[in-house]
């Protein structure tokens, strides 16, 4: 039986090296920014005792949430038996690993004392969801590493369903853990809800698939490798469902808060009077990240691949805005120590806390994307992650449900 | 096989074994049975002890330090407690958003009636502190006597405790720290908060803020052992109504307030 071939990329073009050098420069700049912050203290950033977590955390959470979502494409193939997605499984796994490492890069380099990090392993505190996440993240890397190995080693491929199931369950727990980092913060009105865990899971589906599509379509175009229209349509359908589901969960989150006593202040802040946060919520998160992609995918008549790139970019930008509103807006709204009273203090009780990102934390934040990009670039250069062809005929060979298998012309026999 | 826990000399033991292997077998059986019993009972006993402690039926420690702050006596415009804390613990006293503040004077006003009160807020030294629960390394910890502290050698500077504390009582050291006091070690890149002047307490002295308030003659702050019914603070709490900030969160603060 003919099988689909995967092939490393040549990696000799000027564009490839420009990308490698660009992302490498970003990584170096991020490392420099982190060392600068370490040497001078966090006062060189816009983060304060009120806005405790800033830009590095927005990007880190996005990358980590997207990491678990990027693995979904592989899961759909391995766990749910949808064979048309199988050729995409390797890239899905690679992206998941790269995105997670990019997110962890941000988190670790932002720590005040990263040198003490080993203490989290030496003295684990199981009551802390943060401690749980350390194991969930490192475990995810190990599980997906094995998953990739099983996918790429033909003798082990028949077991890939089992390890794929483990990876799928692991990623669900991982995203639950990431959402719970915020959901367990009972004191802060924007976070105090168990809904954040499932919200983060559905966000991960949308963010991860958007990043995956950006990489897949860009790579196929740059490498002139065929990408079938039917496969794109399937992926488009998935993206539509995920983006719509994310919008639904966001609506439930806000409606629930509007219904709960004591939460109308934070809702009024985010939805109506929060200035930049309100703008980001309605225009970027809901508009650019939700409505525009849905309209583009469902109604526009231009070339599908182009629409999907624009829609995916919208989902990514909207996702970053969403996490900015949630993470930073949630801290900007003051803690309510004395409900019903007007409060003043030298520590800024009772006032909206301003946040202006400074260059060190912004550079560090963006460098996480650089780390992810660099890992993907090196990965596809060294190992056969990308299929030689994703033409529809090639995918049909792998048992496209409801269609008879054909012997397509574009299929390359395995070496 | 030698038994490291045995107090019987080895040569005598070997002789006894050779003389009565049946007895040894019985002893081993008893030891195994004992081990199995301990393994089986230990989780149950632990759960029982925790439940009893949670219900307040078993007192973990005879000492729980706390404060009673009487807002009726706290003077508007007086910040003696804040200055004493800064001076004793080597804080700069600057009030920028990235400066550490272990104690602050808070003014609250009822917008409907104009009723105004001012009083200090610091770490509330909770019985169930959120900062301790969320800390991934155990750097945030609670002493047996109820004082909540940060171990600077374990803190990774993740600031999750700052996110979790409902009282905004934790600060992050964002500046280089010079002229540290030997009794109040600080570290750039770590979290910190009110220590209740633990070093002074261990020497039998009052926290700096309480002592400063007393020197002013305001008597707005009372320190003592909440678990000692004979202590002045316990008697005052038994005599007058008091409250804790955000009692609804169930963290059982060790700092009580009157007049708010």
| pLDDT for A84 | 83
Which tens digit of pLDDT belongs to each residue from A330-368? 999 999 999 999 999 999 999 999 999 999 999 999 999
Average pLDDT over residues B173-180: 92
Q: Is B8 a residue whose pLDDT tops 90?
A: no
Q: Which of A72, A11, A8, A95 is nearest to A385 (CA)?
A: A8
Q: Across the A/B interface, how many CB contacts are shorter than 8 Å?
A: 170
Which tens digit of pLDDT belongs to each residue from A277-322? 999 999 999 999 999 999 999 997 889 999 999 999 999 999 999 9
Extract the tokens encoding B206.
Answer: 């009052």
CB contact under 8 A, B246 and A187: yes
CB contact under 8 A, A43 and B98: yes
Distance from CA of B177 to the nearest CA of A (A): 10
By percentage, how much of chain A surpasses pLDDT 90?
79
Task: Give the mean pLDDT of chain A.
Answer: 92
Distance from CA of A409 to the nearest CA of B (A): 55
Q: Which fold has domain B65-258?
A: Alpha-Beta Plaits (3.30.70)
* Mean pLDDT lowest among A175-184, B22-31, B135-144: B22-31
Give me the residue from A41, A114, A185 closest to B164, CB to CB: A185
CB contact under 8 A, B137 and A125: yes
Count the helices and strands in chain A (H runs, E runs): 16, 1
Q: Is A399 a residue whose pLDDT tops 80?
A: no
Average pLDDT over residues A162-184: 95
CB contact under 8 A, B162 and A125: no
* E-strand stretches of B21-115: 65-70, 103-109
- Cα A60 to Cα A108: distance, rounded to the nearest angstrom: 10
Q: In chain B, which residue's Cα lies nearest the Cα of A127?
A: B133
From chain A, pick out residues whose CB is under 8 angstroms from the CB of B100: 49
Could you tell me if B233 and B81 are in contact, meaning their C-beta atoms sit under 8 angstroms apart? Answer: no
Q: Is A370 a residue whose pLDDT tops 60?
A: yes
Q: Is A413 a residue whose pLDDT tops 60?
A: no
Which of the four pLDDT bands, split at 50, 70 and 90, describes residue A121?
confident
The residues near B183 (Cβ < 8 Å, ≥ 6 apart) are B199, B200
Scanning B55-207, the segments in alpha helix (DSSP H) are 80-89, 130-134, 160-164, 198-202
Q: Which of B156, B177, B249, B257 to mutate to test the interface with A (most CBs of A within 10 A)?
A: B156
Q: Is A93 a residue whose pLDDT tops 80?
A: yes
- Cα B93 to Cα B82: distance, rounded to the nearest angstrom: 8
Give CA A296 to chain center in angstroms: 21
Average pLDDT over residues A208-226: 95
Task: Give the mean pLDDT of chain B.
Answer: 86
* Mean pLDDT lowest among A22-36, A382-396, B77-91: A382-396
From chain B, pick out residues whose CB is under 8 angstroms from the CB of A48: 97-98, 174
Q: Is A402 a residue whose pLDDT tops 50?
A: no
Q: How far is CA A306 from CA A38, A92, A214, A235, B73, in A?
A: 42, 20, 10, 13, 70
Give me the residue from B137, B162, B173 closest to A52, CB to CB: B162
Q: In chain B, which residue's Cα lies nearest the Cα of A342?
A: B109
Segment 110-169 of chain A within 8 Å of chain B by CB: 111-114, 116-117, 119-120, 123-125, 127-131, 134
Give CA A195 to chain center in angstroms: 19
- Give the distance between the most distant pair of CA atoms in chain A: 75
Residue B176 DSSP code = -
What is the gyration radius of the CA atoms in chain B, in angstroms? 25
Neighbours of B214 (CB within 10 A): 16
Average pLDDT over residues A202-220: 97
Could you tell me if B67 and B222 are in contact, meaning their C-beta atoms sit under 8 angstroms apart? Answer: yes
Distance from CA of B22 to the nearest CA of A (A): 45
- Cα A112 to Cα A119: distance, rounded to the nearest angstrom: 14
With b meaning 16 or more CB within 10 Å and e meaning fewer, what string describes A65-76?
bbbbbbbbbbbb
| pLDDT for B52 | 54
Which tens digit of pLDDT belongs to each residue from B72-107? 999 999 999 999 999 999 999 999 999 999 999 999
Q: Is A161 a residue whose pLDDT tops 60?
A: yes
Phi/psi at B122 (5° precision): -145, -170
| pLDDT for B5 | 35
- Cα A182 to Cα A194: distance, rounded to the nearest angstrom: 9
* Model ipTM value: 0.90
Q: Is B31 a residue whose pLDDT tops 90?
A: no
Average pLDDT over residues A161-165: 93
Give A61's strand partners.
none
Average pLDDT over residues A359-380: 98
Give me the residue from A338, A346, A353 closest to B95, CB to CB: A346
Which of the four pLDDT bands, split at 50, 70 and 90, describes residue B7?
very low
SS3 content of chain B, % helix, strand, coil (to 5): 35, 15, 50
Which tens digit of pLDDT belongs to each residue from A187-201? 899 999 999 999 999
Q: Is A386 a residue whose pLDDT tops 70?
A: yes
| pLDDT for A261 | 84
- Cα B78 to Cα A401: distance, rounded to the nearest angstrom: 78
| pLDDT for B43 | 61
Would you list the DSSP string of A153-187? -TTTGGGHHHHHHHHHHHHHHHHHHHHHHHHT-TT
| pLDDT for A120 | 86
Could you tell me if A242 and A289 are in contact, meaning their C-beta atoms sit under 8 angstroms apart? Answer: no
Q: Which domains does chain A have, with CATH numbers?
A: 14-396 (1.20.1630.10)
- Cα A102 to Cα A374: distance, rounded to the nearest angstrom: 10
Q: Which of B249, B244, B213, B207 is nearest to B124 (CA)?
A: B244
Q: Which of B158, B134, B210 is nearest to A181 (CA)?
A: B134
By percentage, how much of chain A surpasses pLDDT 70?
94
**Which H or E run contains B222?**
strand B221-225
- Cα B151 to Cα B130: distance, rounded to the nearest angstrom: 16
CA dihedral A207, A213, A218, A219 (to 10 degrees): 110
CB contact under 8 A, B163 and A111: no
Segment 176-215 of chain A within 8 Å of chain B by CB: 181, 184-188
* Mean pLDDT lowest among A121-135, B110-124, B236-250: A121-135
* Mean pLDDT lowest among A5-9, A96-100, A176-180, A247-251: A5-9
| pLDDT for B48 | 57
Angle A346-A348-A350 from CA coordinates, rounded to 5°: 125
Q: Which of B62, B17, B64 is nearest to B196 (CA)?
A: B64
Average pLDDT over residues B41-55: 58
Q: In chain B, which residue's Cα lies nearest the Cα of A129?
A: B134
| pLDDT for B86 | 97
Coil, helix or strand at residue B104: strand
């Amino acid at each position: 039986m003919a099988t689909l071939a995967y092939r490393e990329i040549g990696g000799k073009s000027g564009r490839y090296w420009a990308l490698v050098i660009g992302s490498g420069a970003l990584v170096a700049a991020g490392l420099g920014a982190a060392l600068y912050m370490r040497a001078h203290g966090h006062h060189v950033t816009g983060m304060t005792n009120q806005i405790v977590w800033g830009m590095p955390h927005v990007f880190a959470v996005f990358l980590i949430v997207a990491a678990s979502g990027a693995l979904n494409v592989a899961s759909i193939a391995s766990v749910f038996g949808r064979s048309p997605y199988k050729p995409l499984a390797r890239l899905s796994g690679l992206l998941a690993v790269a995105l997670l490492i990019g997110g962890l890069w941000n988190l670790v380099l932002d720590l005040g004392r990263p040198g003490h990090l080993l203490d989290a392993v030496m003295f684990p505190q199981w009551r802390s969801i943060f401690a749980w996440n350390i194991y969930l993240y490192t475990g995810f890397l190990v599980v997906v590493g094995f998953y990739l190995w099983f996918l790429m080693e033909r003798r082990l491929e028949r077991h890939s369903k089992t390890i794929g199931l483990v990876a799928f369950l692991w990623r669900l727990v991982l995203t639950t853990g990431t959402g719970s980092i915020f959901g367990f913060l009972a004191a802060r009105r924007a976070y105090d809800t168990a809904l954040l865990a499932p919200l983060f899971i559905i966000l991960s589906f949308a963010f991860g698939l958007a990043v995956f599509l950006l990489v897949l379509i860009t790579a196929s175009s740059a490498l002139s490798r065929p990408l079938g229209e039917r496969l794109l349509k399937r992926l488009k359908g998935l993206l539509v469902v995920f983006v719509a589901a994310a919008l639904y969960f966001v609506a439930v989150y806000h409606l629930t808060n509007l219904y709960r006593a004591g939460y109308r202040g934070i809702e009024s802040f985010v939805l109506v009077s929060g200035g930049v946060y309100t703008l980001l919520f309605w225009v970027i998160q809901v508009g650019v990240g939700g409505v525009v992609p849905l309209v583009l995918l469902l109604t526009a008549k231009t070339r599908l691949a182009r629409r999907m790139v624009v829609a995916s970019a919208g989902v990514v930008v909207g996702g970053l805005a969403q996490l900015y509103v949630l993470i930073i807006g949630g801290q900007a709204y003051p803690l309510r120590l004395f409900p019903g009273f007007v409060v003043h203090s030298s520590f800024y009780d009772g006032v909206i806390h301003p946040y202006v990102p400074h260059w060190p934390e912004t550079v560090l934040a963006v460098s996480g994307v650089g780390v992810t990009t660099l890992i993907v670039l090196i990965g596809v250069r060294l190992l056969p992650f990308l299929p030689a062809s994703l033409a529809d005929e090639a995918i049909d060979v792998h048992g496209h449900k409801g269609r008879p298998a054909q012997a397509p012309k574009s299929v390359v026999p395995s070496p | 096989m030698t038994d490291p826990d045995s107090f019987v000399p080895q040569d005598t033991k070997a002789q006894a074994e050779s003389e009565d292997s049946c007895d040894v077998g019985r002893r081993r059986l008893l030891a195994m049975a004992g081990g199995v019993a301990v393994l089986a009972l230990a989780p149950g006993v632990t759960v029982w002890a925790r439940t009893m402690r949670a219900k307040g039926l078993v007192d973990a420690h005879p000492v729980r330090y706390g404060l009673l702050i009487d807002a009726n006596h706290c003077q508007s415009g007086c910040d003696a407690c804040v200055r004493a804390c800064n001076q004793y613990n080597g804080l700069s006293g600057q009030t920028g958003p990235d400066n550490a503040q272990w104690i602050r004077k808070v003014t609250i006003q009822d917008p409907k009636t104009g009723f105004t009160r001012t009083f200090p807020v610091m770490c509330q030294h909770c019985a169930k502190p959120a900062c301790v629960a969320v800390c991934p390394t155990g750097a945030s910890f609670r002493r047996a006597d109820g004082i909540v502290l940060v171990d600077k050698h374990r803190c990774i500077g993740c600031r999750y405790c700052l996110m979790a504390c409902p009282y905004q009582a934790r600060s992050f050291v964002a500046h280089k720290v010079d002229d540290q006091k030997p009794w109040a070690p600080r570290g750039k890149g770590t979290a910190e908060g009110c220590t209740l002047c633990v070093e002074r307490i261990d020497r039998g002295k009052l926290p700096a803020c309480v002592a400063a308030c007393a020197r002013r003659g305001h008597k707005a702050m009372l320190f003592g052992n909440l678990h000692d019914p004979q202590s002045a603070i316990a008697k005052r709490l038994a005599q007058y109504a008091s409250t804790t900030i955000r009692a609804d969160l169930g963290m059982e603060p060790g700092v009580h307030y009157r007049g708010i």
